[in-house]
Amino acid sequence: MGLFHVIKFDGVPNKEWIMYKYPGNEFFNQSTLIVGVGQVAIAVHGGKIENIFTSGTYKLTTENFPFLRGLVKMVHSGDVPFTMEIYFFNTTVSLKNVWGTQAPIQMIDPKYNVKVRVRANGQYALKLTDYQLFFTALMGSVGDKVLYDFSDITNMFRGIINTKISVILGEYIIKNKISFLDISLYLDEISQLGKIKIQPEFENYGLSVLNFYFASINVPEEDLARINDFLNKRAEFDIMGDDRYRVARSFDVLEKAASNEGGAGALASAGVGLGFGIGMAPLMGQAVQQATASSVETCVNCGRPMPNDAIFCPHCGSPKKRLCPNCNKEVGNGISFCPYCGTKLS
């Protein structure tokens, strides 16, 4: 491989790179190193970090690399070739890092006591803050790739993020007794908690999490259907009351059992028999009495019961309402003269 006089890296279009290993490793002692804005370069010789360069232009001299002094003394021509590795690091902020649960998280909705399968996804911002720690702690174990981007880093941390997300959701939802039907109202608070929990994991490798967001926390449609069914039944119970609700549900059981193949045998196998009928009789009788009481009235003339939608009493033929024959206004029972026009009433 030829000797390199100018060492620089201009980045990769449309790609958020984090580390680039310069392909050459043979340089002159007067080679020029150019480190761009938002970059840091680390020079490694013999497995040891010799120097770290921030943005700027540098000459590879004995001032920057003390190990060159011995080579310069041995060679008097001025251009001293030597081997070294140069790594460029991106110190700008990466905003497009996404995460998502790989498998559903099994949880119990604390409000409705229904088992649900939870999925979550979101986005977070990363910045390389300690490049020397990042290089020594992580890059030595990632293989011989020349270019690494932030997607490689997010893949490395995917397992850690998924584990933390399970813990975060479990702790927050159970502690605050929040139903998954209402979870979208708390995404901001959960996101803040997520950043606090996940930040230390990245700091161990020289990375800083600038923000961490939950974009969505969701459950499958069939799990939502179970919760909605529970809500519908509870609303029905609140409207009908305890006794009527039990009677209605009993009729549902009878109807379903009767429609199944086997008829009475199905009822017997379901535990619906004479004992069931005897046990339900008081409730059914009470429900019938309540329904009957709400559907009858008393005749203003003879005092006997009559349907509330009747116009005339079926017993005495009197009209449902007593009207004055002169002014046609409604008058009550037990009076002899109309209070509105004074006409004598029969």
Interval 144-185: pLDDT, tens: 788 889 998 999 899 999 999 999 998 898 889 998 888 889
Confidence of residue 234 (pLDDT cuts 50, 70, 90): low
Does residue 20 register a pLDDT over 80? Answer: yes
103-151 tens-digit pLDDT: 899 888 888 788 888 999 999 999 999 988 998 887 665 567 888 899 9
> What is the rounded (10 degree) CA torsion for 215, 220, 226, 231?
20
- Predicted pLDDT at 220: 83
- Predicted pLDDT at 272: 46
Secondary structure in 3-state letters for the chain: CCCEEEECCCCCCCCCEEEEECCCCEEEEEEEEEECCCEEEEEEECCEEEEEECCEEEECCCCCCCCHHHHHHHCCCCCCEEECEEEEEECCCEEEEEEECCCCEEEECCCCCCEEEEEEEEEEEEEECCHHHHHHHCHHHCCCCCEEEHHHHHHHCHHHHHHHHHHHHHHHHHHHCCCCCCHHHHHHHHHHHHHHHHHHHHHCCCEEEEEEEEEEEECCHHHHHHHHHHHHHHHHHHHHCHHHHHHHHHHHHHHHHHHCCCCHHHHHHCCCCHHHHHHHHHHHHHHHHHHHHCCEEECCCCCCEEECCCCECCCCCCECCCECCCCCCECCCCCCECCCCCCECC
Determine the average pLDDT of the residues in 16-20.
92
CA-wise closest residue to 84 among 42, 21, 33, 26: 26
Residue with tokens 């996804």: 121
Residue with tokens 């290993």: 21
> Could you tell me which residue, 327 or 194, shows the higher pLDDT?
194
Determine the average pLDDT of the residues in 278-287.
50
* Mean pLDDT lowest among 144-153, 204-213, 258-267, 313-322: 258-267
Rounded CA gap, 66 and 68, in Å?
5
Cα of 78 vs its chain's centroid, Å: 65
Rounded CA gap, 87 and 53, in Å?
10
Whole-number average pLDDT of the chain: 77
Rounded CA gap, 79 and 280, in Å?
105
Does residue 238 register a pLDDT over 70? Answer: no
**CATH superfamily of domain region 94-129+143-223:** Band 7 domain (3.30.479.30)
Does residue 269 register a pLDDT over 50? Answer: no
Proportion of the chain above pLDDT 70, given as a percent: 69
188-232 tens-digit pLDDT: 999 999 999 999 999 999 999 999 999 999 888 888 777 777 666
Where are the domains positioned within the chain?
4-90, 94-129+143-223, 241-293, 296-346
- Predicted pLDDT at 19: 92
Rounded (5°) CA angle 252-254-257? 105
> Could you tell me which residue, 86 or 4, shows the higher pLDDT?
86
* Residue 322, amino acid: R
69-107 tens-digit pLDDT: 554 444 445 556 677 888 999 999 999 899 999 889 988
Are the beta carbons of 292 and 285 closer than 8 angstroms? Answer: no
Are the beta carbons of 36 and 9 closer than 8 angstroms? Answer: yes
Cα of 50 vs its chain's centroid, Å: 47
* Residue 78, amino acid: G
Does residue 324 register a pLDDT over 70? Answer: yes
Does residue 244 register a pLDDT over 60? Answer: no
> Could you tell me which residue, 173 or 320, shows the higher pLDDT?
173
- Predicted pLDDT at 274: 41
Question: Is pTM, for the whole model, over 0.85?
Answer: no
Rounded CA gap, 57 and 32, in Å?
7
The pair phi, psi for residue 281, each rounded to 5°, is -55, -50
Determine the average pLDDT of the residues in 261-266.
49
- Predicted pLDDT at 13: 82
